[in-house]
Amino acid sequence: IIDVYVVYAILTALVQVIYMAIVGSFPFNAFLSGVLSCIGTAVLAVCLRMQVNKENKEFK
């Protein structure tokens, strides 16, 4: 389920980039905050997935 959440966050960032390319980037700070928050959420979810993976011996 964490993988689905990561894919959703990345797809949301891609939709925002495509929207900016089509419509324009007038409030550029809003675009940056939206995309960077999606990417940050995906990175944190990947870190969580690494920690809860039972096959990973590094976090025990």
2 φ/ψ angles, rounded to the nearest 5 degrees: -70, -35
Local confidence band at 54 (pLDDT 50, 70, 90 cut-offs): confident
* pLDDT in the model for residue 60: 65
8 within domain boundaries: yes
57 within domain boundaries: no
Could you tell me the pTM of the whole model? 0.84
The count of domains in the chain is 1
58 within domain boundaries: no
Residue-number span of the structural domain to which 27 is assigned: 2-52
Distance CA 17, CA 11 (A): 10
48 within domain boundaries: yes
